[in-house]
A and B are shown apart, each in its own frame.
Chain A
Amino acid sequence: MDRGAGWFKLMGTPKSAGTKLLSVSGDCARPGVYEVAFGLKVQDLLKMAGGLDAQAVQVGGPSGTCISRGQFERKLCFEDLPTGGSVIVIGPQRDLFEAIHNFMDFFIEESCGWCVPCRAGNILLKKKLEKITSGKGTAKDLQEIESWGKTIKAMSRCGLGQTSPNPILTTLQNFREMYEAKVRNDKDFISEFDLAAAVKAASSLTGQKLTEAHHE
């Protein structure tokens, strides 16, 4: 305070003056709150916090951006990677899909249910993600999940739905290979309809067991 605004503005970048408190959590040796000058490279923050082996960093919380190792040179500031303060380090031992899935669970739980795209859309988005991670996805599912995500962002009433597809959309952009490795290239379409699951209640009543052979 007593050194004045001029001194404060010497730190940071042209559009993000001064310092920022960052809450660093996740897979790092020294999680905690760090006060840093805006414009710090993600790489340097990881060095401070002891998380250099991270496979991904979630900047700005679940509704922010998930970046890959190749992007750790990027800077924490409004011009590049804006954040309200949350930085989550995701270590190499984690399944990134599981983290994305958790974030979607969080948004579904948090949705108030007032508007259609956020209430119905996020659930459909999560199911699509599950279809892909369970190995039943095709290239078409990747296109669809992207376009559904864009629709939910554009049509939702508040900031929750306007950002809830970000865990999927930003990883689709920054970890494309991971998704592409999951989808099947030998098929154009695989149905998400699971006959055995759909008739489970009836089968348990009649004591019948439906095997894969019935509907393959």
Chain B
Amino acid sequence: MNKIKFTIDGKECFAEPGQTIMEAAKANGVYIPALCRYEGLKPAGSCRVCTVRVGRGHMAACTQPVAEGMVVENIVPDLEDMRKSLIEMLFVEGNHLCPTCQKSGNCELQALAYRYQMLVPRFPYQFPVRQVEPVGPHLLLEQNRCIQCLRCVRGVKTTDGKAVFGSVKRSGKKKIAFDRDLAAGLSADAAKKAMDQCPVGALLKKEIGFMVPIGKRKFDQKPIGSEFEDKRS
């Protein structure tokens, strides 16, 4: 099958038919920032951080298939600033007190905030009142930090394939909920996997919070996106 030719910020790239812009970018060594995307899960297109520009239109790179001759804009100042403002919206929409958070250093939201050199969000903090809920014997759901990325909804399943999490309500009241009986059956391993899948500190496996000390965690070593961008610079 013939490869599709297109460009990202002027760099010539090639894609397989049916590949999304995000998949093709990865295959061509180009980093497109993203938050709700997770390898192996169906894309949700909910965080919009991976939004790129094609012509005058904006589209999520994780859901949009590549077309022949597409001219994709990715790392351009105005788009990067809009992505930064999405990160800032997520910070003010919940309650993120990084110094007290078990996920600090492993958190993708925090890592993107560093990438965009966010000092203080441009938006006023909303300080919502939210709960912490136990999810079965091994997990905690810290609603204060949930960014509604839906990775848990898409990825956390029981051994017989039932979804444990779902989302309820709408607009600003939308939140993650779960089935108590199914959650009760989640093993410790499944709980660890759920925690690793959650981009932020919203799903936490009990008893392992600070096993790896702050300073030695993933993004303490290397900034997010560096697996691609190191090669460029």
Contact = CB atoms under 8 A, between A and B. Distances in A.
A192 B93 CA distance: 16
Contact of A115 (B48, B93, B173): B48
B48 A120 contact: no
A127 B51 contact: no
A29 interface: no
A155 B51 contact: yes
A91 B143 CA distance: 45
B41 to A, nearest CB: 16
Interface stretch (B84-92, B95-103, B198-206, B217-225): B84-92
A79 interface: no
B47 A124 contact: no
A143 to B, nearest CB: 11
Contacts of B47: 115-116
B172 A155 contact: no
A68 B123 CA distance: 30
Interface in A131-173: 144, 148, 151, 154-157
Contact of A144 (B46, B51, B122, B170): B122
Nearest to A125: B123
A120 B45 contact: no
Contacts of A119: 93, 148, 171-172, 174
Interface string B169-196: 1111110000000000000000000000
B86 A112 contact: no
Given A123-B172, A154-B51, A154-B58, A115 B45 contact: yes
Contact of B124 (A114, A116, A117, A127): A127
Interface string A94-138: 000000000000001111111111011101100100000000000
A116 B89 contact: yes
B60 interface: yes
A157 B171 contact: no
Contacts of B51: 154-155
Main secondary structure of the interface of A (DSSP, over half): helix
The 9 closest A-B pairs by CB, nearest first: A113-B174, A120-B89, A120-B93, A111-B171, A155-B48, A151-B82, A154-B58, A113-B170, A113-B171
Nearest to A156: B48
B75 to A, nearest CB: 16
A168 to B, nearest CB: 15
Interface string A163-191: 00000000000000000000000000000
28 contacts: A109-B171, A111-B170, A112-B170, A113-B148, A113-B167, A113-B169, A113-B172, A114-B148, A114-B174, A116-B89, A116-B90, A116-B93, A117-B48, A117-B86, A119-B148, A119-B172, A120-B89, A120-B90, A120-B92, A123-B171, A124-B123, A148-B123, A151-B85, A151-B86, A155-B82, A157-B48, A157-B60, A192-B124
Contacts of B46: 114-116, 157
A7 interface: no
A112 B51 CA distance: 19
Contacts of B49: 116
Contacts of B148: 113-114, 116, 119
Given A119-B93, A120-B93, A127-B124, 12 more contacts: A113-B167, A113-B172, A116-B86, A116-B90, A117-B86, A117-B89, A123-B171, A124-B92, A144-B122, A154-B51, A156-B48, A157-B46
Contacts of A120: 89-90, 92-93, 172
Interface in A178-216: 192-193
Nearest to A154: B58
